[in-house]
A and B are shown apart, each in its own frame.
Chain A
Amino acid sequence: MTRIKEHPILGVYPKGELVEFTFDGQTLRGFAGEPVAMALRSAGVLIHRYTSKLRRPRGIFCAIGRCTDCVMVVDGRPNIRTCVTPLAAGMNVRTQYGVGEEK
């Protein structure tokens, strides 16, 4: 289980409503308002994109919006930093290939 149910110091985490979104067409669930990357990690998704030159997989690296390794195509827009983008119901999240969607 990737979600921490209860933390010895922080207790129970305040979370938004449980919502559905899609990852490469597959329906997943996450909490509204949490970063898209956290919902993906909780669902077991680690690969966010494949790089332009070497086509290598990348995922969360800094988790605070600096390194840009976790960018994906969100609702049709590429290069969205999923670690700082809040999840909303019905979001369409896709693996990014190079600088956009898979051709």
Chain B
Amino acid sequence: MKRYDLIVVGAGPAGLSAAIEAARLGLRVVVYDENARPGGQLFKQIHKFFGSREHKAKIRGIKIGEELLQEATDAGVEIMLNAAVTGLFAEKEITARVNERILHRKADAIILATGASENMVNFPNWTLPGVIGAGAAQTMMNLHGVKPGERILMLGSGNVGLVVSYQLLQAGCAVAAVVDALPRIGGYGVHAAKVARCGVPFYTAHTIVRAEGGDRVTGAVIGELDKDWRIISGTEKHFAVDTICLAVGLSPMSQLCALAGCAMEDDPAKAGYVPVVDKYGETSVAGIFAAGDVSGIEEASSAMIEGRIAGLAAAHRLGFLDKGDLDARIAVQEKALAGLRQGMFAPGSRGKTFTRTDEGYPLSQNLLRKGYLDAAEISAYPGITPDKGLRPVIECAQNIPCNPCQDACPKHCITVGGTDGNITALPVFDAQKGCTGCGLCVASCSGQAIFLVDEDAGEVTLPYEFLPLPQKGDRGRALGRDGQEVCAAEITAVKTAGVFDKTNLLTMRVPPQYAMAARFFQRES
């Protein structure tokens, strides 16, 4: 039987990060993954990540995936693909199916990084072709270049539902609506806002009544829910769609942990049935660790840090890293993790309702219910100043862990969290620092929430990630935050640059009185 120092199950962000740390310290490491490609979901995540520089903020998931694979190769990590681990036993033995064979492997430590599976919701006709998971939609369009459908109804407004809705628009599909049973949008407001300004309506406190169609989806009916989760009769709405996409949450895929005899708990804050782990990610079975979504659903940024911690801890357990070194390195990782686990979307905030930001600003109820800031609400936030003349308008109104705008500004006009460096604080704009209108903040904002506005010239510069890219002189309509037409607009500049990483800057001219309302451009068809 082949033996390793460390076997990692799952080649996603957590598993690769764990393998890299351990291999760099000299462990003989193998990673098993059931998929044909490594990287887990990273290669489907074409958006820019949140967080801080240390969390690889403003870098797209696909690029982070490539970097991790390169690091793994450089560190000497062996990656076995198309290798589904079918069993894990307390003696730190695994069985894996490779081709037509079951392999047995042993190691001195095991790190489980098996990730999550998608939750599903059942409704009449949910088995029809055309009802798919949000992961399926991402796989089809981002890995294989195939549109999942032409017109899609999205069920679920967590970050997955919002991000995939935007990706569907980028792929050239129409999104008929985003529906959520909860009375508020579950994911980041900035993700919702970039979907809403394209004209996609949000239906919160609504659920699907049925899918329609004989042998494939031809439509969907939704209805409004009362406070007892019953559909209010007479509120049914019909949508002609060919695809219904389900994004109703993820569950930790923890069967292998249970199989190995690890102590388990059902923890709603971790979104399901997870192994009990200590600060190193070690389960109740010595030498078996868990990292990433398998031990509690979070973002990929957190999974990478948990992976690094588990990799370091496994190295320590096998004598490749002494205790002092371990603690010093873990302290750095824990600080990075703590930075991500703050604010209203942190794992510890699950199920809580917030009415104000950490700073005490009232939370936009319109953003939570409809997906966009109302014109009456925007002046409340510190990134939106009453200054005149060319300046950034930072429509960032929720405490999310993110600060690339601060790093992007060469004039240091934007600060996030001040001296204490709390990256979930709302960005503050200071006109006195001398904004030059370079637009780097617009391109670097992972939430696409920054616009350059000049009321005097009647010009608005917005981030744009669609094809075909409008050209200077193109005429069309300016849409508001709600996706409705505001006024006529003409493109006066289009900026693309390597440093923008495919977020193009469109400058459109509008009547000056609409400069604080116009947020998207639609070419005349």
Residues of A participating in the B interface, judged by any CB pair closer than 8 Å: 1-4, 6-10, 13, 15, 34-35, 38, 41-42, 46-48, 51, 56-67, 69, 83-84, 86
Q: Mark B195-220, 1 if CB is under 8 A from A, else 0.
A: 00000000000000000000110000
Q: Which residue of A lies closest to B130 (CB)?
A: A46
Contact of A64 among B129, B139, B146 (CB under 8 A): B139
The 8 closest A-B pairs by CB, nearest first: A59-B129, A63-B136, A13-B145, A46-B129, A63-B139, A38-B144, A9-B46, A4-B145
A63→B171 contact, CB < 8 A: no
Residue B292 lies at the interface, judged by CB distance under 8 Å to chain A: no
Chain B's nearest CB lies how many Å from the CB of A41?
A: 5
- On chain A, the residues within 8 Å of B60 by CB distance are 9
Contact of A61 among B62, B133, B146, B467 (CB under 8 A): B133
Known interface pairs A13-B144, A60-B136, A63-B136; 10 further A-B residue pairs with C-beta atoms within 8 A, sorted by A's residue number: A2-B146, A3-B147, A10-B62, A15-B145, A35-B144, A57-B216, A61-B136, A63-B133, A64-B135, A86-B36
Task: Assess A8 versus B170: contact at CB under 8 Å? Given A46-B129, A47-B216, A57-B128.
Answer: yes
A64→B170 contact, CB < 8 A: no
- On chain A, the residues within 8 Å of B467 by CB distance are 6-8
Assembly CA distance A62 to B137 (angstroms): 8
Assembly CA distance A51 to B466 (angstroms): 40
A64→B130 contact, CB < 8 A: no
B147→A56 contact, CB < 8 A: no
Residue B490 lies at the interface, judged by CB distance under 8 Å to chain A: no
A56→B127 contact, CB < 8 A: yes
B136→A10 contact, CB < 8 A: no
A41→B133 contact, CB < 8 A: no
Assembly CA distance A58 to B130 (angstroms): 9
Assembly CA distance A42 to B60 (angstroms): 27
Chain A's nearest CB lies how many Å from the CB of B144?
A: 4
Secondary structure at the B interface, as helix, strand, loop or mixed, is: loop
- On chain B, the residues within 8 Å of A58 by CB distance are 127, 129
Assembly CA distance A69 to B127 (angstroms): 9
B145→A66 contact, CB < 8 A: no
Secondary structure at the A interface, as helix, strand, loop or mixed, is: loop
- On chain A, the residues within 8 Å of B148 by CB distance are 41, 60
Assembly CA distance A69 to B128 (angstroms): 10
Q: Which residue of A lies closest to B469 (CB)?
A: A8
Task: Assess A47 versus B145: contact at CB under 8 Å? Given A7-B170, A66-B117.
Answer: no
A64→B145 contact, CB < 8 A: no
Residue B141 lies at the interface, judged by CB distance under 8 Å to chain A: yes
A48→B129 contact, CB < 8 A: yes
Assembly CA distance A6 to B466 (angstroms): 10
B172→A60 contact, CB < 8 A: no
- On chain B, the residues within 8 Å of A9 by CB distance are 46, 60, 62, 170, 465, 502
Q: Mark B104-120, 1 if CB is under 8 A from A, else 0.
A: 00000000000001100
Assembly CA distance A66 to B306 (angstroms): 25
16 contacts between A and B (CB under 8 A): A4-B147, A7-B467, A8-B170, A10-B46, A10-B145, A46-B129, A46-B130, A57-B129, A59-B129, A61-B132, A61-B133, A62-B118, A62-B132, A63-B135, A63-B139, A69-B127
Assembly CA distance A2 to B130 (angstroms): 14
B144→A34 contact, CB < 8 A: yes
Chain B's nearest CB lies how many Å from the CB of A68?
A: 13
A59→B216 contact, CB < 8 A: yes
Contact of A47 among B137, B141, B215 (CB under 8 A): B215
Assembly CA distance A7 to B467 (angstroms): 7
Residue B131 lies at the interface, judged by CB distance under 8 Å to chain A: yes
Residue B357 lies at the interface, judged by CB distance under 8 Å to chain A: no
In B459-483, which residues have CB < 8 Å from any A CB?
Answer: 465-467, 469
A60→B145 contact, CB < 8 A: no
Assembly CA distance A8 to B36 (angstroms): 25
- On chain A, the residues within 8 Å of B132 by CB distance are 60-63
Residue B355 lies at the interface, judged by CB distance under 8 Å to chain A: no
Residue B140 lies at the interface, judged by CB distance under 8 Å to chain A: yes
Q: Which residue of A lies closest to B136 (CB)?
A: A63
Assembly CA distance A63 to B246 (angstroms): 13
Residue B159 lies at the interface, judged by CB distance under 8 Å to chain A: no
